[in-house]
Structure 1
Amino acid sequence: MKRSLAAAAVAVLLAVSGCTPAPSSEAPSSSAPVPVTPSAEPSSAPPPPKNCVTETLDGLDLPERVGQLLMIGAAVNAPSGLGDTVRRYHLGGVFLRGRSTHSAAELKSDIATLQKSAPMPMLLAVDQEGGSVQTLKGRDFPKLPSASRLGAGPAATLRDTTRESARRLAGIGVNLNLAPVADTVPTSIGTGNPPIGAFRREFGSDPVKVAAAIRTVVPASQDAGVLTTLKHFPGLGRVRVNTDVSRGATDTVATVDDPYLGPFKAGIESGSAAVMISSARYPKIDPDAIAAFSKPVITGLLRDKIGFDGLVISDDLGAARAVTAVPPAQRAVRFVAAGGDMVLTIVPSDAAPMAGALIDKAESDQAFRVRVDDAARHVLETKKKAGLLRCS
Structure 2
Amino acid sequence: MITAAGMEGCGSKAPAPPAGQTAPQPQQPAEPSGEAGQEQVQPALKPRDEIRDQVEAMSLDEKVGQLLLVGLDGTVVDGHAREWIHTYHAGGFILFRDNIENAAQLAQLTGDLKEANRSGGGVPLWLSLDEEGGRVSRMPAELAKPPSAAAVGRADKPAASLAIGRAVGRELGAFGMNMNFAPVLDVFSNPGNTVIGDRAYGRDPAQVIRMGIQAMKGLQSQQVAAVVKHFPGHGDTSVDSHYGLPVVTHDLDRLRKVELKPFAEAVRSGADAVMVAHILLPKLDAEVPASLSRRVVTGLLREEMGFSGVVVTDDLVMGAITKRYDLGQAGVQAVAAGGDVLLVGHGYEAGTAVFSAVKRAVQEGVITEARLKESVVRILRLKAKYRLRDERPGAVDTAALNEEMKNAMKGLEAPLPAGGK
* Same fold? TM cut 0.5: yes
Tell me by how many angstroms 1:309 deviates. Answer: 0.6
Find the counterpart in structure 1 of residue 151 from structure 2. Answer: 149
Rate the CA distance shift 1:14–1:276 in 2: closer, same or farther, 3 A: closer
Q: Does 1:112 align with 2:114?
A: no
- Kept in 1, the 8 Å contact 2:165–2:217? The answer is no
Find the counterpart in structure 1 of residue 29 from structure 2. Answer: 5
- Kept in 2, the 8 Å contact 1:131–1:145? The answer is yes
Structure 1 Cα separation of the partners of residues 74 and 152 of structure 2: 26
Structure 1 Cα separation of the partners of residues 74 and 144 of structure 2: 17
Opposite residue 286 of structure 2, the aligned amino acid is P
> Deviations along 1:228-260, whole A, 9 cap, x unmatched?
01101001000110000123x111115263422
- Kept in 2, the 8 Å contact 1:218–1:270? The answer is no
**Matching of residues 57-68 of structure 1 within 5 Å:** 57-68=55-66
Q: Which has the higher strand share?
A: 1
Q: Find the residue that maps to 2:317 and give its secondary structure.
A: coil
Q: CA RMSD in A?
A: 2.7
Structure 2 Cα separation of the partners of residues 342 and 279 of structure 1: 14
Find the counterpart in structure 1 of residue 348 from structure 2. Answer: 348
> Deviations along 1:61-107, whole A, 9 cap, x unmatched?
11110111111112473355512222211101111122566443432
Tell me by how many angstroms 1:217 deviates. Answer: 1.0
Q: Find the residue that maps to 1:91 and give its secondary structure.
A: coil
Tell me by how many angstroms 1:356 deviates. Answer: 1.4
Find the counterpart in structure 2 of residue 275 from structure 1. Answer: 274
Tell me by how many angstroms 1:357 deviates. Answer: 1.2
- Kept in 1, the 8 Å contact 2:182–2:229? The answer is yes
Q: Find the residue that maps to 1:210 and give its secondary structure.
A: helix
Find the counterpart in structure 2 of residue 381 from structure 1. Answer: 381
Q: Find the residue that maps to 1:289 and give its secondary structure.
A: coil
Tell me by how many angstroms 1:369 deviates. Answer: 2.3
**Matching of residues 253-268 of structure 1 within 5 Å:** 253-255=250-252, 257-268=256-267
Rate the CA distance shift 1:100–1:146 in 2: closer, same or farther, 3 A: farther
Structure 1 Cα separation of the partners of residues 258 and 237 of structure 2: 16
Q: Which has the higher contact order (CA 8 A, sep 6+)?
A: 2
Opposite residue 373 of structure 1, the aligned amino acid is K
Find the counterpart in structure 1 of residue 234 from structure 2. Answer: 236
> Deviations along 1:162-201, whole A, 9 cap, x unmatched?
1111101011111000011000012xx22x103101xx10
- Kept in 1, the 8 Å contact 2:361–2:367? The answer is no
What count of residue pairs does the alignment treat as equivalent? 357
Find the counterpart in structure 1 of residue 170 from structure 2. Answer: 167
Find the counterpart in structure 1 of residue 368 from structure 2. Answer: 368
Q: Which has the larger radius of gyration?
A: 1
- Kept in 1, the 8 Å contact 2:336–2:367? The answer is no
Q: Find the residue that maps to 2:34 and give its secondary structure.
A: helix
Rate the CA distance shift 1:3–1:335 in 2: closer, same or farther, 3 A: closer
Find the counterpart in structure 2 of residue 289 from structure 1. Answer: 288
Tell me by how many angstroms 1:320 deviates. Answer: 3.4
Tell me by how many angstroms 1:210 deviates. Answer: 0.4
Tell me by how many angstroms 1:351 deviates. Answer: 2.4
Q: Find the residue that maps to 1:150 and give its secondary structure.
A: helix
- Kept in 1, the 8 Å contact 2:241–2:318? The answer is no
Structure 1 Cα separation of the partners of residues 205 and 73 of structure 2: 35
Opposite residue 162 of structure 1, the aligned amino acid is G
Q: Find the residue that maps to 2:110 and give its secondary structure.
A: helix
Give the counterpart of 1:202 among 200, 203, 208: 200
Give ranges in structure 2 of 5+ residues lacking alignment. Answer: 1-24, 391-421
Structure 1 Cα separation of the partners of residues 42 and 212 of structure 2: 53
Opposite residue 361 of structure 1, the aligned amino acid is A
Q: Find the residue that maps to 1:124 and give its secondary structure.
A: strand
> Deviations along 1:297-339, whole A, 9 cap, x unmatched?
0000000000101110000102434433211110110100111
Structure 2 Cα separation of the partners of residues 3 and 109 of structure 1: 56
- Quick one: percent identity of the two aligned structures? 30
Opposite residue 177 of structure 1, the aligned amino acid is N
> Deviations along 1:351-391, whole A, 9 cap, x unmatched?
2221111111111217532211111111111111221279x
Opposite residue 245 of structure 1, the aligned amino acid is Y
Q: Does 1:129 align with 2:143?
A: no
Rate the CA distance shift 1:2–1:109 in 2: closer, same or farther, 3 A: closer
Rate the CA distance shift 1:314–1:101 in 2: closer, same or farther, 3 A: closer
Give ranges in structure 1 of 5+ residues lacking alignment. Answer: 18-40
- Kept in 2, the 8 Å contact 1:76–1:96? The answer is no
